[in-house]
Structure 1
Amino acid sequence: MTSKAPTVKVVAGGAAGAAVTIAVWIAGLFGLEVPSEVAGAAVVLVTFAAAYVVPDRTAGRHTAD
């Protein structure tokens, strides 16, 4: 039976996107206004980068690096 839990790659991408969103919010608290288009693009780019660099470790595909 396969697990329905997200893989490490998916978790990394989601966490990265959330972290950028929080960073933009904190920047707003300090008076740095980030346009929503720029914030959205930053979320997409950082999420992609995080998911790209994290290896895919699904069940049965573990490899020695």
Structure 2
Amino acid sequence: MHNESPITPARAEPRVAASASPGLRPGTAPLYAEQRQRAKRTALWVGAIAVLVYVGFILSGVIGR
């Protein structure tokens, strides 16, 4: 038996977006103001729904006793 592995390790090359600006991290694209606003609104809605579900579970436990 040999101690050598038949598989050679590969080097990971960093991915760079074609349209990335020099000031941005590699692989990221700028989010425009409208997209950012929609993402923020969606996150707030998802958070609000999560809080309502959490409160609902607590109230169902209290009411169920």
| Same fold? TM cut 0.5 | no
Q: Where on the TM-score scale, by shorter chain, does this alignment land: which range?
A: 0.3 to 0.5
Query: Could you tell me the TM-score, scaled by structure 1's length?
Result: 0.41
Query: Could you tell me the TM-score, scaled by structure 2's length?
Result: 0.41
Structure in which a larger fraction of residues adopt helix? 1
